[in-house]
Structure 1
Amino acid sequence: MHSAKVKTASRGFTLMEIMLVLVLIGSMATLVLKTLPSSSRELSQESDRLAVALHWAAQQAELDGKIYGLSVSPHQWQLMTLNSQPHNRGESYLWPNHYWHPVSVGKLKQQRQLPDSLTLTLALQDQPIPLNTLQNDTLIDEPKIIFFPGGERSHFELTLSDLEGQTRTLTEHGVQAESETSDALIPPHSASAGTPAA
């Protein structure tokens, strides 16, 4: 008797098998993303929001020919503009007869209350600046970071940190993660004083 050898042709995966593998991979990726710490996501989102607001203020100062500033406290920030019209928050202590007004334009958030897990710190000219924690105090309304019409701006380091010790630092040159640097979001210019816009 002769034994017959049966040859089976090798074949690839079926479409159903490939789709099943893709569904399993997608499900596992979703589970991994959901387990990432939410504070890391918040830190990234809030620093991106703040970077967009700073970039907008720098550009707007040049386009409008006005002085813009960022008022900062440990848990909130607000964009403001300087002009000579009186405002109920009082006169600027840096520019007599001029007043800071909150900026309100379109859908861009011009003011932000940070989540409880995040804190802002500020350094100007490499010197730490104590931030006012009293939200009703008028000093919170006097911006510490200034953008002038000629493109000059304050030399600053604004650091956003979470409870786990992760930080993102925004400077006049852009945003930095703990040890990595992203593209500059705020076009660099040298810092110098200017005159207020009327």
Structure 2
Amino acid sequence: MITTLSGRLRQTGFTLLEVMLVLLLIGLLATTVVLNFSGDSPEQRLNKETERFQQVFQFIAETAMLKQQEWGLVLNPGSYQFVYFDGEKWQLAEQIKAATEYKLADDIQLQLELEGLPGAELSLLSQLNWQDDDEVADSEQPPVLPQVFMLSSGEISPFRLSFQLGDGPDKVSQTVGTDFTIPLNRSDVITVR
């Protein structure tokens, strides 16, 4: 009778391996649920976009110095891209993937500030005639001209670029810019009221 009672007690419990397996499965399911339902906050989304811009801009500015070429930043509504001057005209930089047109999310707007920055009145770059007048008349589409210049000497035309996300009281903003050289300065994400 003693052997039968001890045999029953062994069969009624769970083994340590079974308990650990159940805990592992619960942990995996909880992780999946948390990852699926936790999206980036607006501040995190905006910070990712400005960080990407900052890194690509620095890469292109360093490329301009290494290749001894003049490069520029072209801003369009909802996107930005980089161009280079081939000695005759501005060309789209299709050979460098990071320099091609990058489209932002629909709810992110760009606002460029060039006026009123240190050295803006001394910048003669924007006053130069970068395109041949005959070329402009012959072409069907307007020439691509950059708003911000990155020179082979390492100088950059002063600018401030604001990335803004959202509307109304939930609008957040972050600014990236420089006064003449890299690295770019990036502000904290702020809520615009």
Normalising by the residue count of structure 1, what TM-score does the alignment of the two structures yield?
Answer: 0.58
Structure 1 residues 107 and 72, CA gap change in structure 2 (3 angstroms): closer
Tell me, yes or no, if structure 1 residue 111 matches structure 2 residue 114: no
Q: Distance in 2 between matches of 1:30 and 1:137?
A: 50
Unaligned runs of 5+ in 2: 1-15, 118-139, 179-183
Identify the residue that residue 50 of structure 2 maps to in structure 1. Answer: 47
Unaligned runs of 5+ in 1: 1-13, 86-98, 128-135, 180-198
What secondary structure, in the 3-state scheme, does the structure 1 residue paired with 2:94 have?
coil
- Residue 126 of structure 1 contacts residue 157 of structure 1 at CA under 8 Å; is this kept in 2? no
Find the structure with the greater CA-based Rg: 2
Q: Distance in 1 between matches of 2:36 and 2:73?
A: 33
| Structure 1, 118-127 or 156-165: larger mean CA deviation | 118-127
- Residue 123 of structure 1 contacts residue 156 of structure 1 at CA under 8 Å; is this kept in 2? yes
User: How far is 1:107 from its partner?
Assistant: 3.8
Q: Distance in 1 between matches of 2:29 and 2:176?
A: 34
- Residue 74 of structure 1 contacts residue 121 of structure 1 at CA under 8 Å; is this kept in 2? no
Q: Distance in 2 between matches of 1:174 and 1:105?
A: 27
Identify the residue that residue 101 of structure 1 maps to in structure 2. Answer: 91
Structure 1 residues 100 and 30, CA gap change in structure 2 (3 angstroms): farther
Structure 1 residues 161 and 22, CA gap change in structure 2 (3 angstroms): farther
| Structure 1, 61-70 or 169-178: larger mean CA deviation | 169-178
Alignment partner of 1:166 out of 169, 172, 185 = 172
Q: How does 1:1-198 map to 2 (within 5 A)?
A: 20=23, 27=30, 31=34, 34-37=37-40, 39-85=42-88, 99-126=89-116, 138=142, 141-163=144-166, 164-172=170-178, 173-178=184-189
Number of residue pairs the alignment of both structures matches: 144
Taking only the aligned residue pairs, the percentage that are identical comes to 20
Identify the residue that residue 6 of structure 2 maps to in structure 1. Answer: none
Q: Distance in 2 between matches of 1:138 and 1:145?
A: 18
Amino acid at match of 1:153: I
Normalising by the residue count of structure 2, what TM-score does the alignment of the two structures yield?
Answer: 0.60
- Residue 70 of structure 1 contacts residue 143 of structure 1 at CA under 8 Å; is this kept in 2? yes
User: How far is 1:66 from its partner?
Assistant: 0.8
What secondary structure, in the 3-state scheme, does the structure 1 residue paired with 2:80 have?
strand
Q: Which structure has more helix as a fraction of its residues?
A: 2
Q: Distance in 1 between matches of 2:25 and 2:185?
A: 38
